[in-house]
Amino acid sequence: MTTAGRFTGRVAIVTGAGSPDGIGMAVARLLVGEGARVVLGATSDRVAARAAEVGGDAVGVIADLTFDGGAEALVSAAVDRWGTVDILVNNAGMTSVSSGWDADATVAQLSRSDWDNAIARNLTTAFLMCRAVVPVMTSAGYGRIVSVGSTTGTINAMPGQSTYTAAKAGLVGLSRALALEVVDRGVTVNVVAPGYVATGSQLPFEAAAAAAGPIGRSGTPAEVAACVGFLAHESASFVTGAVLVVDGGHGLPETWTARGSGSAWSPTTGRS
């Protein structure tokens, strides 16, 4: 149920909102719960169920953002229904029902098609959404763009994941360049970079690494959503081109001691 709050009267788009326990869904819940009207985007019809679960002023739209026209469909859904777009949360990427996971391969083994597909899913989706929404925001003189990146590619990397690492690093570059292009038009552009988060797509080794780390657990989608909410609010008007790391301190030490053992744990390899 919609309640009055920080985002009353604001219109938002949240991409990558098909999973019931993902970051996109958590962000949508936060925004709608605090008064926003939200378009949820995903690649399959399960997004309708997510919109129904969120309730309030939420609508689900099926759109594959790796193709031209998908981003425009989401923006049009918001503008046709509510007249504008105040907030864009770029959360699509990593994996999807329609396209699966990024390839796990070394640079020497990686095929061109696997590279192209991963970059399209993790970086091009955000570019296309930004390109589609920026004219609406600059015309209104107001906007908040928040992209969900990762600590991977921002402060660390993983062998076998050059595609994801490059895409998330590229997302930071895209956001900073765009921030400069629109800073004088009332639009801010920022990145939230989560570390290990307990979603349905979290892998066992990630959960193990999080449990062995400084804080002893993974983050929750709601904790990431809270950071997105800060940057998406009008009060964050002097923050742009920034990266907000949300990792419980996992990126701080070079190594850490696994809980219950005397061995050093490497966040990259999972071993000493």
Catalytic residue among 164, 168, 187, 267: 164
If you write DSSP's letter for every residue of 202-248 in order, what string do you get? --HHHHHHHHHSSSSS-B-HHHHHHHHHHHHSTT-TT--S-EEEEST
Q: Are 171 and 125 spatial neighbours (Cβ–Cβ below 8 Å)?
A: no
In the residue annotation, 142 being an active-site residue is answered as: no
Kind of pairing, strands 100-101 and 95-96? antiparallel
C-alpha to C-alpha distances, 13 to 24, 74, 199, 239, 268, nearest whole angstrom: 10, 7, 21, 20, 34
Q: Which residues contact 51 (CB under 8 A, 6 or more apart)?
A: 28, 40, 58, 59, 60
Distance CA 241, CA 99 (A): 30
Cite the active site residues: 164
